[in-house]
Structure 1
């Protein structure tokens, strides 16, 4: 016999008095959330993954600390030390140490599965699924094929003339300040340098910051937009909290942060249009990124449609400037804190070259200790503190089955500072990257897991510009260490302590004193 509700029940519910409703609604919600918490803690498919219990119950803790106050990068490092390589950091999300995450999540196929760990749609910013950083796999392959020639070794050699001229301008400005006895905000000058370089390589024009010594509005907007996009990720998850969110942080601050990205998109599109009018070569014999985008294929069609060009130039500007700037700023910070390693590198550079005119990308690539210093810089301070998350297709990770739809995060900074992966993980030791035949090789680091260091990500979607970045860094360090001695100003020793991260690092000025070396 089927069970039926009494016909009078709806009328009884309607007749509930206010006092009954006040009791009924909170009680129902209370038991709902208690039941949900019990399910998530003990019956959820991820309940076997260790981690803080409160995070397993509610996601807002992770979302706030990641996207609003930017402190989760430091917390997750401690969580990996406490709970191991797989940590549950939300009801449906896990953090995976890169020693497991890079080979098992970022490879072409999920291990033992037919699906792939796809990126979270529009995670970096709204519309990123149309660009090379967030595109679905098929579109990503097409965009990468088109852009790859712009980052080949041949292209980098062609671009070296442009890059070297702008490094000349940096050296000229630092020399002038050194002779006047002025200190510099080195972070600012690195931003000037790499935004000018990438502007010239993308739009055939710089932002003129190296020349004027002033920050272009594009740079200012960019750093606002990094935090603005992060705020937006939080509000997309919790739109009903927008009013208290604006009250807590201040509406003007939130609006300013979010508008920066919109203004830069418009600016990048206008600059793209101006560059496209110049054709494949903006100046006789000068080839840049756009040269390869505008090339015609066998059918006479443009390699990349105009719409794709305008969408992706913004990505090229950001990925090719801020990340390298961050790495170089950290190098000058950490090398100043490690006098022995700094002296070794200075000696190698100054004994390799007798004149600045000899310093070029090919020659710099022969200095193994320089490369070791760069690798160690990227280990200790990966410019992308967090990689954009992936979504599990239903696959095994680290021996555990992770159900479909689970959000997977890999935090390079936490991986690269993990004592299970490295000896003295918080110490700057370029020696760990040297071959046993090198005079400065140190066997204490022989068992370090160097393979897990992937500052440019891993797999078919790793950074397309990593070879350009390495060449730029080797050239810039060699030029500056050949000409200058340098030191941090007092009080700068804690520059990196407690820095916040919103995918990228939120950095403070770094005060450095340069002096032109004798002879």
Structure 2
């Protein structure tokens, strides 16, 4: 009995101390903290728990939209990412320390946080993504796109259709694999996701877990035990991704070839004493992921919205089919003038940003201002792409697919609030390749096939989950050749 009473006293003391700590934390956060004037939910002012809960649930982007609509949407893209004269650079946050190769001390164009080192990387990688290089690489891209177009004829004739989501992902991984490693993954040979794709996506999840653990260092020790098997699996997946990437890069480097791909220019421009083979493998691994999943995401979303809006599909179909007389005429340069095709892609990028998470940056020494708010040094800041592009104050009828807003802008639409490629010195280096992929894939698909959405009740946003990148729902589609030849 005495033991029970003792335990009861201990519990009461613990509860009292917890209440005291929370009370003091609340008083400090609400009345004395340097960020006390920043609008937002009061629970998030005293703890990272709400953020982490939203993050782990996979619904964090949608929660951010609600919060921004309630508390106000900061116009912070250029302040944080764009670079301002007389202002120090907002460097990348700790989140980037959890990716592939980072654990062994090798950074990439994406994970490198030091501005001066990143600038060097961008300089020697720039040639691989120039307009000239994209034209040289177009034949390699077209080979995979044409394989995909032929495959759609077979898969699309099935009674239940086929999963456009995974097939597009296989296509874009084959494209970036071919450009980065000198050979495709052969992902289009199967309707199931290629094992390397799964490993690569799992490696991204490790970064998410590291971010959560960094926010709760004490709790993190217990989570390391509780989630030991899951974290071990993620770590093994990341290590496997690193090994596969390194072997593939070494194979490409030692193979004599005249093909023009990413590594052609990188190997020509690098200093081997500075840029090692493992460094190139880190770049290639990130470029495969960044250049494939994001492109597939945008195309899947665009096709979903088009199939839900027959007037938009009819307008795009008319533009594409009236412009070209044969399949072989559809190229990177010939699709550049298609105004509505461009607008469709931009609207898909706005409604469903391919990188849905806010990219964290650190306020530099001495502090700085963001959207008019003075912030102390060391604070992590970001602009949430979903909140910016779907906020009611930034776009008229933001949840509606209206490609025409990119052709005849309304005064109610602030188009600069959609920044799917980010901006500034850390903006996407591969945007030229992304546009080549998206324009030619969508144009060829629409030129050849009449498409039908099989799961008409699908709610794309409701069934999506974010874990660093999107976990997208199945998009079941039937396809019928309209009676044209595919060369």
Aligned mate of 2:70, from 59, 73, 82:
82
Give yes or no for the alignment of 1:355 onto 2:329.
no
Distance in 2 of aligned mates of 1:20 and 1:503 = 44
1:259 positional shift: 3.1
1:367 positional shift: 0.6
Aligned to 1:305: 276
Distance in 1 of aligned mates of 2:401 and 2:152 = 26
Aligned to 1:8: none
Aligned to 1:292: 265
Tell whether the 8 Å contact from 1:120 to 1:391 is kept in structure 2 after alignment: yes
SS for the counterpart of 2:94 is coil
SS for the counterpart of 2:478 is strand
1:416 positional shift: 0.4
Pair 1:210–1:19, CA change in 2 (3 A): closer
Pair 1:23–1:172, CA change in 2 (3 A): closer
Aligned mate of 1:57, from 39, 42, 46:
46
Aligned to 1:370: 341
Distance in 1 of aligned mates of 2:132 and 2:217 = 48
Mark the structure with the bigger radius of gyration.
1
Pair 1:229–1:210, CA change in 2 (3 A): same
Tell whether the 8 Å contact from 1:294 to 1:303 is kept in structure 2 after alignment: no
Tell whether the 8 Å contact from 1:489 to 1:511 is kept in structure 2 after alignment: yes
Number of equivalences: 472
Aligned to 1:320: 291
Aligned to 1:449: 414
Aligned to 1:14: none
Distance in 1 of aligned mates of 2:151 and 2:8 = 75
Tell me which moved more, 361-370 or 446-455: 446-455
Pair 1:472–1:296, CA change in 2 (3 A): closer
Tell me which moved more, 410-419 or 237-246: 237-246
Distance in 1 of aligned mates of 2:8 and 2:223 = 32
Q: Deviations over 1:171-223 (max 9, x none)?
A: 11111223455511101111110100011101111111113444321111123
Aligned mate of 1:117, from 79, 90, 107:
90
Distance in 2 of aligned mates of 1:499 and 1:180 = 25
1:45 positional shift: 0.8
Pair 1:424–1:24, CA change in 2 (3 A): closer
Aligned to 2:143: 165
The alignment yields a C-alpha RMSD, in angstroms, of: 2.5
Aligned mate of 1:38, from 27, 36, 43:
27
Tell whether the 8 Å contact from 1:390 to 1:407 is kept in structure 2 after alignment: yes
Aligned to 1:231: 209
Pair 1:172–1:303, CA change in 2 (3 A): farther
Tell whether the 8 Å contact from 1:159 to 1:288 is kept in structure 2 after alignment: yes
Tell whether the 8 Å contact from 1:124 to 1:388 is kept in structure 2 after alignment: no
Distance in 2 of aligned mates of 1:124 and 1:384 = 18
Distance in 2 of aligned mates of 1:183 and 1:457 = 35
1:37 positional shift: 1.5
Pair 1:296–1:495, CA change in 2 (3 A): closer
1:237 positional shift: 2.7
Give yes or no for the alignment of 1:474 onto 2:452.
no
Tell whether the 8 Å contact from 1:294 to 1:304 is kept in structure 2 after alignment: no
Aligned to 1:387: 358
Distance in 1 of aligned mates of 2:169 and 2:457 = 19
**TM-score, normalized by length of structure 1?**
0.85
1:63 positional shift: 1.9
Question: Tell me, which stretches of 5 or more residues in structure 1 are unaligned?
Answer: 1-16, 86-96, 435-440
Pair 1:227–1:492, CA change in 2 (3 A): farther
SS for the counterpart of 2:395 is coil
Give yes or no for the alignment of 1:419 onto 2:392.
yes
Tell whether the 8 Å contact from 1:486 to 1:512 is kept in structure 2 after alignment: yes
Aligned to 2:195: 217
Pair 1:224–1:217, CA change in 2 (3 A): same
Distance in 1 of aligned mates of 2:327 and 2:438 = 16
Tell whether the 8 Å contact from 1:46 to 1:402 is kept in structure 2 after alignment: yes
SS for the counterpart of 1:388 is coil
Aligned to 1:200: 178
Aligned to 1:346: 317
SS for the counterpart of 2:137 is helix
1:457 positional shift: 0.5
Give yes or no for the alignment of 1:104 onto 2:65.
no
Tell whether the 8 Å contact from 2:108 to 2:282 is kept in structure 1 after alignment: yes
Question: Tell me, which stretches of 5 or more residues in structure 2 are unaligned?
Answer: 1-5
**TM-score, normalized by length of structure 2?**
0.90
1:456 positional shift: 0.4
Aligned to 1:71: 59
Distance in 2 of aligned mates of 1:258 and 1:500 = 22
